[in-house]
Structure 1
Amino acid sequence: MKILAISDVPSKALWDYGTREHLEGIDLILSCGDLPQKYLEYLTNFTAAPILYVHGNHDCSYRQHEPGGCICVDDEVYVWKGLRIMGLGGSIKYNMRPDSYQYTEKEMSGRVRKLRRKAHKAGGIDLLLTHSPAAGLNDNTDHAHKGFECFNALLDEFEPQWFVHGHVHLNYDAKLPRVCTRGKTMVINATERYVFEIPDPAPAAPPRHFWEKWLEP
Structure 2
Amino acid sequence: MKILAMADVESKYFWDYFEKSKLEGIDLIISCGDLNPNYLSFLATFTSAPVLYVHGNHDTKYAETPPEGCICIEDRIYVHQGVRILGLGGSMRYSKGDHQYTEGEMKRRVRKLWPSLCMKKGIDILVTHAPAYGINDGEDLPHQGYKVFDTLMQKYRPRFFIHGHVHFSYGRKHKRYQKYQETHIINAYRHCIFEYEDEQPEAHMI
TM-score by length of 2: 0.93
1:115-134 to 2 correspondences below 5 Å: 115-134=113-132
Instruction: Please give the root-mean-square deviation of Cα atoms over the aligned residues, in Å.
Output: 1.1
- Does residue 79 (structure 1) correspond to residue 88 (structure 2)? The answer is no
Deviations 1:121-161 (A, max 9, x none): 00110000000000101001111101001111111110001
Work out the CA distance in 2 between the residues paired with 1:183 and 1:19.
Answer: 38
TM-score by length of 1: 0.89
1:9 match: 9
1:66 Cα deviation from its structure 2 partner: 1.3
Work out the CA distance in 2 between the residues paired with 1:120 and 1:171.
Answer: 39
Work out the CA distance in 2 between the residues paired with 1:19 and 1:54.
Answer: 25
2:150 match: 152
Kindly report structure 1 stretches of 4+ aligned residues shifted beyond 6 Å.
none
1:48 match: 48
Pick aligned residue for 1:180 from 178, 185, 192:
178
1:204 match: none
Q: For 1:76, give the aligned amino acid.
A: R
1:55-134 to 2 correspondences below 5 Å: 55-97=55-97, 100-134=98-132
Pick aligned residue for 1:166 from 152, 164, 167:
164
5+ residue gaps in structure 2? 199-206
Work out the CA distance in 2 between the residues paired with 1:118 and 1:5.
Answer: 24
Work out the CA distance in 2 between the residues paired with 1:37 and 1:72.
Answer: 12
Greater gyration radius: 1
2:204 match: none
5+ residue gaps in structure 1? 201-217
Q: For 1:61, give the aligned amino acid.
A: K
- How many residues align? The count is 198
Identity of aligned residues (%): 51
Deviations 1:147-188 (A, max 9, x none): 001111111110001000000011111132101100000000
Work out the CA distance in 2 between the residues paired with 1:161 and 1:116.
Answer: 19
- Contact map agreement 1:19 1:46 (CA 8 A) in 2: no
For 1:52, what is the secondary structure of its paired residue?
Answer: strand
1:199 Cα deviation from its structure 2 partner: 2.7
Work out the CA distance in 2 between the residues paired with 1:175 and 1:103.
Answer: 24
